[in-house]
Amino acid sequence: MQGTTSLSSNSLFQFFYKYGTILTIFVLIAVFTMANTAFIQGNNIISILRSISIVTIIAVGITVSLAVNGFDLSVGSVASLSNAIVISMFVWFSQNTFIAIFAAIVASLIVGLLNSLLIIKGKIPDMLLTLAMMFIIQGIALTYTKGASISQNMIMPDGNFSEGLISPLFSKIGQVPWIILIMGVVVLFVHIFLNYTKHGRYMYVIGGNAEAAKLSGIPVNKYKMIAYLMSALFASIGGIVLASRIMTAEINAGAPYLMDSVAAAFIGFSVLGAGKPNAFGTFIGAVLIGVLQNGLVMMSVPYYAMDIVKGGVLALALGITYYKMR
C-alpha cells in the first residue's frame, strides 16, 4: 500500500514537472481574464509577446551557456554595451545601419571571447568570472557614454547638438511584427542547433559530463568557447533590438533583463520534461513571466512588488529542477 502511494506521488510529480509550467500559464490567463476581460484581447496578447521578445533573446544565450554546464551572468551588461554602441554609431558618428549593428556585435563577441578564454585558460569558475565581467562591462559602457543617455539631437561636449540620425530602417526592428519575428527566429535556430545538430548534441554531452566528453574525443574547450560566443551574440542582439525599440541608449539599459532571462532559462528546464536547458522551454518560461507581469500590472499590483513575485517563481523553478536532478 505504501509502495503504491509512493508510486502515485512520484507519477503526480512527474506530471507536474512535465506540464506544470504550461498549465500554470493557462491558469494565470484564466484568472487574469476573469479579473479583467481586456487581458485576453488580441492587442494585449501581442503586447505580451513584444514585452518578452528581448528577455527571450537574451535568455536563449544563457540557455546555450547552460548547455555546456556554464552560466553567463554578463549578458545584461553586454546588452547595455551593445545598446550604447549601436545608438552612438548613428548619433555620434552618423554611420549606416549595417556599420552600427556590426560594431555592436563585434564589441559583444570580444566580451564573449574574453569570457571563454578566462574560463578555459584561467580555470576561473564560470559564475564568478562572468559576475566580474558584468561589472567590468557595465563600467566600460558607462565610461563610453560618460554616464549619460545617448539620443538624437543631444547636446555634445562642445555645446553643439548632435547631427547624426537613427536610420528609419533600424527603427523598424523594435516594432511589431519584426521584434516578435526576430524572437521566433532566434528560438527556432537555437532549438534546431541544440537538438538536431552534432554540435548541439556535443554541448549537451559536455554539460552532462565534461571528462567523459573529453575522453570520447569531443573538443570540450572549443565548444565552451562557442557557447560563450553565442551567449554574447544573443545578448548583443537583445541590446540592438532594445535600442531600436526605445530609440535611445539608456544607462545600464540591459541590466533589468538579467533576472528575467535567468528565470526564463531555468524555468525552461522542466517544460515537457526536458530536464535540460532548451530553447523552447526558455521561450515558455519567458511567456510565463510575461503573462504574470502583464496580469499583475493590469490588476494594479505596485511595480515594486514585481520582483518578489518573479523571485518566487525563479526559486520555485530552481527547487523543482534541482529536486528532479537529485
**pLDDT digit string (tens) for 272-321?**
777 899 999 999 999 999 999 999 899 888 877 877 877 787 777 767 66
* Confidence grade of residue 134 (pLDDT, cut at 50, 70, 90): very high
Which residues make beta-bridge pairs with 150? 249
Give the pLDDT of residue 1.
52
Query: What pLDDT score was predicted for residue 5?
Result: 60
Q: How confident is the model at residue 8 (pLDDT cuts 50, 70, 90)?
A: low
> What pLDDT score was predicted for residue 168?
93
Joined together, the cell numbers standing for residue 12 give 503526480
- For residue 249, the cross-strand partners are 150
Residue predicted with more confidence, 282 or 271:
282
pLDDT in tens, 208-264: 999 999 999 999 999 999 999 999 999 999 999 999 999 999 989 999 999 999 989
pLDDT, residue 65, reads: 97
**Does residue 162 register a pLDDT over 80?**
yes
Q: What global pTM score does this model have?
A: 0.94
Residue 62: per-residue pLDDT: 97
Q: What are phi and psi of 274, to 5 degrees?
A: -60, -45
Per the CB < 8 A criterion, the answer to whether 238 and 58 are in contact is yes
Question: Please, which pLDDT band fits residue 139 given cuts at 50, 70 and 90?
Answer: very high
Kindly report, residue by residue over 55-104, the tens digit of the pLDDT.
999 999 999 999 999 999 999 999 999 999 999 999 999 999 999 999 99
Per-residue pLDDT at 326: 60
Phi and psi at 155, nearest 5°, equal -85, 125
**Contact assessment for residue 273 and residue 18, using Cβ atoms and an 8 Å cutoff:** yes
**Which residues, including other chains, have CB under 8 Å from residue 83's CB and lie 6 or more apart?**
104, 239, 240, 242, 243, 249, 250, 253, 254
Instruction: Give me the pLDDT at residue 14, please.
Output: 78
Of 130, 119, 1, residue with least CA distance to 61? 130
Mean pLDDT along residues 23-38: 91
Can you give the pLDDT at residue 43?
96
Single-letter amino acid, residue 317: A
Cα 114 to Cα 103, 119, 199: the distances in Å are 17, 8, 21
Mean pLDDT of the chain: 91
Distances, alpha carbon 191 to alpha carbons 59, 181, 292, 295, in Å = 13, 15, 24, 28
Cα–Cα distances in angstroms (integers) from residue 40 to residues 29, 112, 164, 186, 298, in the given order: 7, 40, 41, 26, 12
The secondary structure of residue 276, as a DSSP letter, is S
The full set of domains in the chain, from first to last, is 19-325 (1.10.3470)
